Amino acid sequence: MINQPQNPNKDYLIDEVLHVVKDLQVKFQSEDDEEKQWLIQNSPNPVVEELVKEMTVTMLHVLDAIGTLEPVNGMTISKQFGFSKGSVSKITRRLIHKEIILSESLPGNRKEVLFRTTPLGKEIYRLHQAMHYQIDNGVNRFLQRYNEDELQFLVRTLRETLHTSWFHSETSGQSIATGEIDGNANGDADYQETIHSLNVKQEMNEIMGMLKKLDSRNLKKAKTILNDVFFEVYED
């Protein structure tokens, strides 16, 4: 299935991985737009269609959390789905204003606010679930082309990536302080290489931060995309 070179150039392959991973953000953004279009095109009625047009991706995710766990409070949404408390508070207010969800206080505890979907919110929630069901089927079909060893390698790599700090990775021992770079004939080249290394580490750290914010569904999409990073050639 995979054509592996006899003597792969490791530095070249690492550079290829970095370049492709940098494109993940762009691809996620384009897929967000694609998902939005799917929801609009498959809306059951004009009211839902108009509401979906006005909703952001984060609003849809918060609604999905409420529809899955209702009745649920903001703290639970924040902890289980990785949203900040401020974001949950802001988004739930917007969803209430649009009559997509409603809030209620527990008897004897007015500080404890629970959220539920309205009938309109349930329609949007079910539509969102249907979209992810279709995505999950597509992801499953895509991953079926790989054997167990390849999938285990991919899962292991992604898990290690999620738990690796690029700032504390081992280095070659050379100082990265610009004041300690030699000013000889190779100084400029060494300086440029060091700057490039710093930029790469910064980009990878940003990517790690992005991946940690993804929910389980979007991590599945990330796995799908990263398959193409590690496996350049595959059979249809």
Examine residue 33 and state whether it is found in any structural domain, yes or no: no
What is the signed CA dihedral for 178, 181, 186, 189, rounded to 10 degrees? -30
DSSP per position, 60-108: HHHHHHHHHH-SB-HHHHHHHH---HHHHHHHHHHHHHTTSEEEEEETT
What is the structure's pLDDT at 214? 63
124 and 59 both lie in a single domain: yes
Examine residue 5 and state whether it is found in any structural domain, yes or no: yes
Residue 92 sits in a domain whose CATH number is 1.10.10.10
Q: How far apart are CA 106 and CA 74, in angstroms?
A: 14
What is the structure's pLDDT at 105? 86
Q: Mean pLDDT lowest for which of 24-38, 104-118, 133-147? A: 24-38
Q: Report the share of the chain in percent with pLDDT over 90.
A: 35
Q: What is the mean pLDDT of residues 112-123?
A: 95
Q: How far apart are CA 33 and CA 155, in angstroms?
A: 27
101 and 84 both lie in a single domain: yes
pLDDT band at 33 (very low <50, low <70, confident <90, very high): confident
Examine residue 130 and state whether it is found in any structural domain, yes or no: yes
131 and 71 both lie in a single domain: yes
Q: What range defines the domain where residue 114 resides? A: 42-144
225 and 191 both lie in a single domain: yes
Name every residue whose Cβ is closer than 8 Å to that of residue 151 and which is 6 or more positions away in sequence: 143
Q: Out of 119, 144, 169, pick the residue that ends a domain.
A: 144
Give pTM, 2 decimals. 0.61
Q: How far apart are CA 179 and CA 182, in angstroms?
A: 8
153 and 135 both lie in a single domain: no
Examine residue 37 and state whether it is found in any structural domain, yes or no: no
Examine residue 31 and state whether it is found in any structural domain, yes or no: no
Which pair of tokens denotes residue 219?
Answer: 């991590």
